Amino acid sequence: MLKRIVAWDNRILTKLAAKHTPVLNKILVPVTRSGNNGYIWFALALPLIFMNKYRITGFTVILAMLISGLAGEITIKHIVGRVRPCNRDFGKDLLIKHPAHYSFPSGHTSSSFAVAMVMFFMLPILFIPVVVYACLMGFSRMYLLVHYPTDVIAGVVLGTICGTVAVAVSPYIPFFSF
């Protein structure tokens, strides 16, 4: 079963590597860079924090990213230890800086979907644009050959869970209500 999953991952990345174009490169490199260290999501959270009506939502976005980072980057990646696909030869040069950590799960994707879940529950008007950007983020990670499809799928699942947990616990954190 594991061999079939690995073969599926490699087939998809091989097809994506063959589809690289200058236009997609110009779109997807900035998308993926905006997810570095959660920059795009901090840029969303900070204005919310300064608006009384959305303060709790802004703090919940940061909490969701924190939970996602602790679960994915600090814990799961080091337990699984999956080597990134960019360490294999797909016949393409890497368009971004080589990531330093392991591959599974995708941290960019998990933090993006964690934020999407916060929007789903707390600020639904922003859910559609955020989830579209989250999907684009996950796709960019595969397109740029730094994550396998199963890394991205795991990131979606992990992020969905982490965002839901953040929404569930945020009302019980006194700091969030000042």
pLDDT, one tens digit per residue, over 71-94 is: 999 999 999 988 888 877 665 677
* 99 is a domain residue: yes
* 151 is a domain residue: yes
* 4 is a domain residue: no
Overall number of domains in the chain: 1
CA distance 55 to 8: 43
Determine if residue 99 is left, alpha or beta; phi over 0 gives left, psi from -120 to 50 gives alpha, anything else beta. beta
* 19 is a domain residue: no
Note the pTM of the prediction, 2 decimals: 0.91
* 104 is a domain residue: yes
In Å, how far are 25, 66, 113, 114 from 61, measured between CA atoms?
29, 9, 11, 8
pLDDT per residue as tens digits for the range 54-76: 999 999 999 999 999 999 999 99
Q: Which of 2-11, 41-50, 105-114, 120-129 has the lowest mean pLDDT?
A: 2-11
* 10 is a domain residue: no
Helix axes 107-122, 127-143, angle to 10 degrees: 170
Share of the chain above pLDDT 70, in %: 95
Q: Domain range holding 58?
A: 24-173
* 79 is a domain residue: yes
* 58 is a domain residue: yes
